[in-house]
Structure 1
Amino acid sequence: MSSSLHVFALCVLVLFAKMLAISCYQGFFRLRHRAFTNPEDAGFFKRDALVHELSAVSRASRAWANDLENIPLFFALGGLCVALGTHGVATAWLFALFTVARVLHTLMYLGRRQPWRTLAYGVGLACLLGLAGLIGAALLPIR
């Protein structure tokens, strides 16, 4: 297994675990407060359905939605980098930095920490742009 593939696979696992944790976080708050917006969920606990989600659940949902806008791009660009054999060290650093940035983004989002949330988002975006640049360089070699 190439080192880029190894780092990519590790980053995918970390991002999977992070997204799973956000789901568990939402479930924890719903169960802890027995507060549900879906009537069937509320009915199961003999409660009335809420009109609005709990604040912590809504916040986690927005962090999840942001992940869904960014992480699939990482999967696609990362897979292309591995397939094209882009520069190993640069690729590995961008993979790792993106992953750290996304974890920090979630923590800052849930913790209501600005400007750190935006900074983490920007670092992740810069990594995606860097991966795209590596792919472009691999496809259009400068001679």
Structure 2
Amino acid sequence: MSEPLTVYALCVLVLFAKMLGISCYQGFFRLRHLAFTNLEDAGFFQRATSQQELPQVRRAARAWANDLENIPLFFVLGGLCVALGTASSASAWLFCTFTAARVMHTLLYLGARQPWRTLAYAVGVCCLLGLAGLVAGKAVAR
């Protein structure tokens, strides 16, 4: 297995674990407070349906939605970098930096930390642009 593929695979696993962690975070707060907006969930726990999600659940849902706008782009661009054989060190560096930025973005989002959350977001976007540049450069050179 090539180094970029190995690094890419590990980054995908970290991002998977991070997104799974957000789901567990939401579930933890729902169960801790027994607050459910879905009728069947509230009924299962013999509770009344909550009119609104808990603030922690809403914040985590927004972090999750932000992930869904960014992480699939990483999956595609990273996969293209591996498939096209872009520069190994640049690809691996961008994979790791993007992954670290997304983990930090989530932690900073859940902790309501500005301007650091925006900075982490911007670093991730710059990495996506870098990956796109690597893909474009390799595709044009072929």
Q: What TM-score results when the alignment is normalised by the length of structure 1? A: 0.98
- Aligned pairs for 1:1-143 within 5 A: 1-141=1-141
Q: Distance in 2 between matches of 1:41 and 1:110?
A: 24
SS in 2 for 1:140: helix
Q: Distance in 2 between matches of 1:78 and 1:44?
A: 42
Q: Distance in 2 between matches of 1:39 and 1:50?
A: 9
Amino acid at match of 1:134: L
Amino acid at match of 1:9: A
Q: Distance in 2 between matches of 1:45 and 1:141?
A: 60
Q: Distance in 2 between matches of 1:84 and 1:37?
A: 46
Report deviation, 1:51.
1.0
Which structure 1 segments of 5+ residues have no match?
Answer: none
Identity %: 73
- Figure out how many residues of one structure are paired with residues of the other and give that number: 142
Q: Distance in 2 between matches of 1:41 and 1:32?
A: 14
**Cα deviation code 1:22-76 (max 9, x no counterpart):** 0000000000000000011001111111111000000000000000010000000
Q: Distance in 2 between matches of 1:141 and 1:15?
A: 31
Which structure 2 segments of 5+ residues have no match?
Answer: none
Q: State the Cα RMSD in Å.
A: 0.9
Q: Distance in 2 between matches of 1:45 and 1:140?
A: 58
Q: What TM-score results when the alignment is normalised by the length of structure 2? A: 0.99
